[in-house]
């Protein structure tokens, strides 16, 4: 499992776009990048997974540059309900020991 | 579609007592995990299992034990409870080797207080 570094916290306002960058300098060739969202008093929820370039779903977009040493989770037009902790996880299917870092606390204000 | 089910949701223990947190999944996932989360902190991996009969330690295994006799169930045993084990415990599972293989499915959590 690759070591990841994320900002501890970010503040935003409703309607803005939030971009959270995760650094993973020692990412391996076979590794994928995954993001999770955790609301208070709930377990984390899978948001998106990608390998390179750009992946988009109904919740977020994931941008991965060519060198894959970082990735950016983009949350378009956030609302108060997007206030949560966001975790970046980098690994491969054979990474059995999945550990989470501290994550990024995103606070959306009215 | 139940997913990952944890019981109990809440429990208060006295110091020195023992208990088992139950976790069951109905998705036929091979990989299962137990995490703990202290207030304001990230998740710490306690134990994990890659299949029935196979378990291994995570980052913080001391004071806990697990077993995996079936694919569906992965109970976590707390022996001699201590105040430091006051936390929220999450069980999770994932299919393993296909599709979004890093997608963990989490239970709703079990909030444990040791007094």
Chain A contact for B52, CB < 8 A?
no
Averaged pLDDT of chain B:
93
Q: Quick check: B103 and A34 CB within 8 A?
A: yes
pLDDT of residue A97: 81
Condensed to tens digits (0 to 9), the pLDDT of residues B84-101 reads 999 999 999 998 766 667
Tokens of B75: 């109970």
| Cα–Cα distance list, A59 to A49, A62, A85 (Å) | 12, 10, 15
* Architecture (CATH level 2) of domain B4-114: Sandwich (2.60)
pLDDT of residue B101: 73
The predicted model gives B14-31 an average pLDDT of 96
| Topology (CATH) of A9-109 | Immunoglobulin-like (2.60.40)
Q: Are B30 and B55 in contact (CB under 8 A)?
A: no
Condensed to tens digits (0 to 9), the pLDDT of residues A26-84 reads 999 989 999 999 998 899 999 999 999 999 999 999 999 999 999 999 999 999 999 99
Q: Quick check: B106 and A43 CB within 8 A?
A: yes
pLDDT of residue A99: 83
Residue B90: closest CA among chain A residues belongs to which residue?
A43
Chain A contact for B31, CB < 8 A?
yes
d(CA B30, CA B14): 34
The predicted model gives B35-51 an average pLDDT of 93
Tokens of B47: 């134990």
List the single residue in B48, B105, B106 with the smallest CB-CB distance to A96.
B48
pLDDT of residue A19: 98
Residue A39: closest CA among chain B residues belongs to which residue?
B108
Chain A contact for B92, CB < 8 A?
yes
């Amino acid at each position: 499992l690759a070591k990841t570094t994320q900002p501890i916290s970010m503040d935003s306002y409703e309607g803005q776009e939030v971009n959270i960058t995760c650094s993973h300098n020692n990412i391996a060739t076979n590794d994928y990048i995954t993001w999770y969202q955790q609301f208070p008093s709930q377990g984390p929820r899978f948001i998106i997974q990608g390998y390179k370039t750009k992946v988009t779903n109904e919740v977020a977009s994931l941008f991965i540059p060519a060198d894959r040493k970082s990735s950016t989770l983009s949350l378009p037009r956030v609302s108060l309900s997007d206030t949560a902790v966001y975790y970046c996880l980098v690994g491969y299917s054979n990474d059995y020991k999945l550990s989470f870092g501290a994550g990024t606390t995103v606070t959306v204000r009215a | 579609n139940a997913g990952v089910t944890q019981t109990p949701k809440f429990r208060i223990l006295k110091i020195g007592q023992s208990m088992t947190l139950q976790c069951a999944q109905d998705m036929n996932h091979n990989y299962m995990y137990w995490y703990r989360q202290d207030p304001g902190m990230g998740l710490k991996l306690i134990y994990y299992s890659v299949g029935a009969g196979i378990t291994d330690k995570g980052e913080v295994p001391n004071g806990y034990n697990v077993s995996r006799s079936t694919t569906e169930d992965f109970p976590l045993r707390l022996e001699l409870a201590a105040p430091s084990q006051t936390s929220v415990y999450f069980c999770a599972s994932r299919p393993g080797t296909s599709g979004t293989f890093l997608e963990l499915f989490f239970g709703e959590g079990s909030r444990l207080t040791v007094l």
